[in-house]
Structure formats: structure tokens, C-alpha cells
Amino acid sequence: MLTHFNEDGRAKMVDISDKQTSVRTAVARTSVEMSEQVYNAIRQQKIKKGDVLSVAQVAGIMAAKQTSSLIPMCHPIPISGVNITFEWETEVDKTVKLIIQTEVKTIGSTGVEMEALTAASITALTIYDMCKAVDKSMTIGATFLVEKSGGKSGDYKRNPNA
């Protein structure tokens, strides 16, 4: 059922005032695939714009906090915590993939899936922005919800084979 439409078929923000407050968590993931040259520049702190992972991490946290300003039907919510982690993978063709995982938590009446996805996306875009002078061929990978907990719809865990 589509809940973001009023009786006239026009967009509306869903009323969550009757929803139960609960602890809600969401984990999202994305990636940035890059050349060895970019990887080495990041690891050796040779990117002129600064410490890439630290800046991207702060950008992702700020994005999670601003999600309702970016996505029209998102409710502004009090975020309890945001954590962003990075993991490096080397591909067969010598490219390197940076896996970005975000976790967002709140105690509230609506979930934080959009906040986790926004944080992942902005973290990846920040990495691209900071490193594009070295190599513009970086690729931002699929962005997806890994899992979520809390709320009326219950828990969700993505099939790892999906």
C-alpha cells in the first residue's frame, strides 16, 4: 500500500504520531572501485585535499543528519549514533575496491534506512570528489540496505547472495 498519497492522489508526508517508539537501526553498504594509483595516494596521505577517509567519514555523518532536508518525505529524526567503517579489497585486475558500511541508530517512531543509505552515498561521493584529480575513472558501486531492526515491519536482513 502506498502511504505517501492523500485522498486527492497528491504527495503527503506520512503521519507517524501513532507509531510506537522503539530502538531502530539500519546498516547500508556501498563501494568505490579505484586504480592502484588512487589507493596508494589515499593510503600514503598524498591527496592534496586532505585525509580522504576522515573527511569522507565526517561527510557521511553530516549527510545522515541532513537526510530529511534532502529527501522530501523523510521525517527529521533524532539520530542516536552513526558509525562508518571502511574495508579494502583487491580485485583480480589490480583495481582496488573500498567497501563503505554505515550504521545509523535512533530511538523513535520511524526507521533510519534512508539515513544509512544517504550516509553511504555521500561518503562515496566525497571520496570520488577528493580523488578525482588523480583518476576520474573511479566507479561508485551498488548502494543497498544490508539490514534494519525495530519498528512495526520488524527486522530485515538482506540475502547475502542478492
Residues recognised as catalytic: 129
Q: How many CA atoms lie within 13 A of 159 on its CB side?
A: 2
Nearest Cα to Cα of residue 114 among 49, 47, 32, 26: 26
Phi, then psi, of 24 in degrees rounded to 5: -130, 135
| Cβ 40 vs Cβ 125: under 8 Å | no
